[in-house]
Amino acid sequence: MELSELDFRIYDKDKKGYLIKPYTVKYYGERYGENREIRDYQNNKLETHNLLFEKFTGSAIGELGESIPIYEGDILLLPKRKYIKEQLVFIKDNCLFDCVSGEFVTIIDNMEHICCTCKIKLVGNVNINSELLNLNKVGRILAK
């Protein structure tokens, strides 16, 4: 796999928050969510943190028709549809998982495709809003 630039959101586990400063991240194809080194090209210095990289998965249509960027680890509320009840899900490795049961829901190749017929609500993120998850059921998924 060639070295390429991808769109990430970076969560600092030590500071319990997202890095706001713009970083360019080079990615070699390892698993997401591991500790990494990143280069801050603006200050030309190498910084090492206890970081969690959350890959951009696509944009979705929000409740008000706005475009919402969606990243790995985001918790979404999918509205009730004809044959499907309202569902709280989170994204891990391009898959949707139910927040309560931990069951696999679907693979997401394209977030726009999933959300083209319904308006979703971005509820939170697994790092910040873990109270929305049944950790007994989904802890094994998040640990991978």
Q: Is pLDDT of 139 > 60?
A: yes
Helices (H), the chain: 111-114, 135-143
CB 74 within 8 A of CB 97: no
Overall average pLDDT of the 91-95 stretch: 83
Measured from the Cβ of residue 55, the count of other Cβ atoms closer than 10 Å reads 18
pLDDT in tens, 13-50: 777 777 765 555 554 445 544 545 555 444 444 354 46
Q: Is pLDDT of 74 > 80?
A: yes
pLDDT in tens, 75-87: 888 888 777 788 8
- Ranges of each domain in the chain: 4-53, 57-143
pLDDT band at 100 (very low <50, low <70, confident <90, very high): confident
Q: What does the alpha-carbon distance between residue 91 and residue 99 come to, in Å, rounded to a whole number?
A: 10
- Lowest-confidence range among 95-104, 118-127, 135-144? 135-144
Q: Is the pTM of this model over 0.85?
A: no
- Residue 116: the pLDDT is 54
